[in-house]
Amino acid sequence: MKKLLLAAAAASICAAPAVAEVKVGMITTLSGGGAGLGIDVRDGFMLAIAQSGRDDIDVVIEDDQRKPDIAVQLSDKMIQSERVDVLTGIIWSNLAMAVVPAAVNQDVFYLSPNAGPSPLAGKGCNKNYFNVAWQNDNLHEAAGAYANTAGYTNSFILAPNYPAGTDALTGYKRFFEGDLAGEIYTKLGQTDYAAEIAQIRASGADSVFFFLPGGMGISFLKQYADSGIDLPVVGPAFSFDQGILQAVGGAALGVVNTSQWNKDIDNPTNAAFVESFQAEYGRLPSLYASQGFDTANLLLSALESASPSDADAFREALRAADFDSTRGDFAFGPNHHPIQTIYAREVIQEGDVFTNKIIGTALENHSDAYAADCKM
């Protein structure tokens, strides 16, 4: 009898950790210039975790300060000392390239809520790496496709001189069928675009495409609006997200931008997400917040059917992507990147808040150009 009790006690002690505790490490940017993006991803992610009602998911959140070396340190700490099962959260492609390959090779799962650098979609793809947002080129490709339908034939294009900037112009050119009136690489972090705007004025273009994320886009749009040039502008959603539109003000009104998400996508998950996000945080969600929310829901859906300790089953469960996305239909391609519809949105004013409205579809069920190179 005593032996039996002891055995039972031992069994219950051993069993206890098995039912509970999935550990998730979130490395994201919460301080410095790019903090708005990380905060949105974190808030969206934590909202979904809270709504799931599960208390056996332990999320460790750390700030990478947008520095690759710090991100690497944090991921080493999370993998080796905190022993997380799943990593997520990185915003910037250069940080993702520093962290992701090493992490997935240590049998940790990585779910990307934002960055989608091309190497990780092509030759460097990995069975433990899932991208829930987009491959970097996607929104720019959609902008190129939109420019065709809008009838533009001569675009002036500009982006910062760094890998994601090159990807952006490559993506636009891949789909845009017209000519280029000019192609400019600006400095990363540049704040004054007077020289570029003068070149646009002199170029004879019929449209402008730009990829200038965050503060760079705010500066460009304000200066462009003040220059008196009235050529139409197209860009990816990164310069028109909810976080920065208020800072651009009227200068962005009417600009068309491409995004895989918007708050008016009509499905119950999205409606509930927008409403609960506003109720919880007192502001409108951005596309980054929707990506964080979707990432957490993907994770939750996989946890329903498998535990990360059974890596193969858990991977299959992730690949199935059996969750209700804020974007409606959502599926992974063979390289674990989304196949999704990308919309054209227009900046509008609702009361005194600037936001976006969907005006059409730019690319339907779009995959990426690198999937064929991925040998998993």
Partner 1 sequence: MSAILIIEQVLNGLQFGVMLFLMAAGLTLIFGVMGLINLAHGSLYMVGAFAAAAVAGATGSFLLGLVAALAAAALAGTLIEVVVIRRLYAAPHLDQVLATFALILVFSEGTRWIFGSFPLFLEIPDALSGPVTLPGGIEYPLYRLTLIGIGLAIAVGLWALIERTRIGIQIRAGENDREMIAALGVDISRLYTLIFALGAALAGLAGALVGAIQSVQVGMGEPVLILAFVVIVIGGIGSIRGAFIGALLVGLTDTLGGVFLPEVFKLFMEPGAAQKSGAAIASMGIYILMGCVLVWRPTGLFGARP
CA dihedral 252, 207, 114, 121 (to 10 degrees): 180
Classify each residue of 335-363 as buried b or exposed e, where b means 16 or more C-beta atoms within 10 Å of its C-beta: bbbbbbbbbbbbbeeeeeebbbebeebbb
Size of the site for partner 1 (CB under 8 A): 38
Q: Which helix (H) or strand (E) holds 179?
A: strand 179-186
Applying CB under 8 A, which of residues 195, 272, 331, 372 lies at the interface with partner 1?
195
**Which among 79-87, 110-118, 247-255, 334-342 is the span making contact with partner 1, rule CB under 8 A?**
247-255
Of the candidates 108, 181, 208, 248, which one interacts with partner 1 according to CB under 8 A?
A: 248
The minimum distance between CB 18 and partner 1, in angstroms, equals 39
Q: Which of 23, 67, 77, 201 binds partner 1 (CB under 8 A)?
A: 201
Report yes or no: 156 and 209 within 8 Å, Cβ to Cβ.
yes
Q: Which of 215, 334 has the CB closer to partner 1?
A: 215
Is 136 near partner 1 (CB under 8 A)? Answer: no
CA pair distance 315, 294, nearest whole angstrom: 17
Residue 302's alpha-carbon distances to 105, 268, 307, 317, in angstroms, are 20, 21, 8, 5
Of 73, 154, 246, 267, the one binding partner 1 (CB under 8 A) is 246
Q: Which two tokens stand for residue 51?
A: 């709504």
In eight-state DSSP terms, residue 335 is T
Nearer to partner 1 (CB atom), residue 194 or residue 331: 194
From 184, 231, 256, 287, residue interacting with partner 1 (rule: CB under 8 A): 184
Q: Does 356 bind partner 1 (CB under 8 A)?
A: no
320, HSE (Cβ side, Cα atoms, 13 Å) = 16
Residue 243 touching partner 1 (CB under 8 A): yes
Q: Is 187 one of the binding residues for partner 1 (CB under 8 A)?
A: yes
Binding mask 212-241 for partner 1 (x = CB under 8 A): --xxx-xx--xx--xxx-------------
| Interface with partner 1, residue 78, by CB under 8 A | no
- The interface with partner 1 within residues 39-58 (CB under 8 A) comprises 39
Interface region with partner 1, contact rule CB under 8 A, candidates 20-28, 67-75, 136-144, 211-219 = 211-219
C-beta separation of 260 from 340 below 8 A: yes
Adjacent-strand bridge partners of 328: 325
**How far from the centroid of its chain's Cα atoms is residue 3's Cα?**
55
Contact between 30 and 63 under an 8 Å Cβ cutoff? The reply is yes
- Is 360 a binding residue for partner 1 by CB under 8 A? The answer is no
3-class DSSP assignment, residue 256: strand
Q: Does residue number 162 form part of the binding site for partner 1 (CB under 8 A)?
A: no
For partner 1, which is the closer residue by CB, 23 or 222?
222
**Exposure letters 80-115 (e unless 16+ CB within 10 A, then b):** eeeebbbbbbbbbbbbbbbbbeebbeeebbbbbbbb
Q: Which is nearer to partner 1, 257 or 340 (CB)?
A: 257
At residue 23, the 3 state secondary structure works out as strand
163 in contact with partner 1 (CB under 8 A): no
Q: Which is nearer to partner 1, 135 or 242 (CB)?
A: 242
Using CB under 8 A, which of 161, 278, 305, 365 touches partner 1? 161
Interface with partner 1 (CB under 8 A): 31-33, 35-36, 39, 161, 183-187, 189, 191-192, 194-195, 198-199, 201-202, 214-216, 218-219, 222-223, 226-228, 243-244, 246-250
